[in-house]
Amino acid sequence: MHKMTMLRESQIMKIHYITAVGALFVVAVHIMMRIAVMPYGMSLEYENVIANYQNIPYIVLLESILVLVSIHGFNGLRVILLELRQSKKWEDGVTVLTIAAMIALIAYGTRTIILANGLGVE
């Protein structure tokens, strides 16, 4: 039973490392797009920000950043919290809470992307 827990944790850490590399890549692409398209100050103007949400490749990029950084960040928080206490009940509770928070953040961020794109006009 203990060996399965170690395997499970090693798989979780592989996901942690993969999401770190993925996040570095998509954030680098995001920054390069911001620099290449227009001056930084102009890119923050309301009309330009909204225009970004109408560009499908850019939407995919933003959603990728949201998902990868959320998974990586909440798993990092989970690892830190697991260092505070060592019990099965604590581990299970921390895991459930961090997964729930991660899902909530991704859902809220995705909702924001959809609303900014004008797809979910209220």
pLDDT of residue 3: 46
pLDDT digits (tens, 9 = 90+) for 12-61: 899 999 999 999 999 999 988 888 888 888 888 888 888 888 889 999 99
Residue 28 lies in a domain: yes
Residue 52 lies in a domain: yes
pLDDT digits (tens, 9 = 90+) for 104-119: 999 999 999 888 877 6
Residue 121 lies in a domain: no
Give dist(CA 26, CA 22) in Å, integer: 6
Residue 122 lies in a domain: no
Give the domain extent around 71: 2-116
pLDDT of residue 103: 97
**CB contact set of 2 (below 8 Å; sequence gap of 6+):** none
* Cβ proximity of 106 and 70 under 8 Å: yes
Residue 19 lies in a domain: yes
**Residue holding tokens 């309301």?**
46
Confidence of residue 120 (pLDDT cuts 50, 70, 90): low
Instruction: Examine the pLDDT at 6 and tell me if it is beyond 60.
Output: no
pLDDT of residue 46: 87
* Domain CATH code at residue 56: 1.20.1300
pLDDT of residue 119: 63
Residue 66 lies in a domain: yes
Instruction: Examine the pLDDT at 7 and tell me if it is beyond 70.
Output: no
The total number of structural domains in the chain stands at: 1
pLDDT of residue 111: 94
**CB contact set of 31 (below 8 Å; sequence gap of 6+):** none
Residue 111 lies in a domain: yes
What does pTM read for this prediction? 0.83
pLDDT of residue 38: 81
Residue 69 lies in a domain: yes
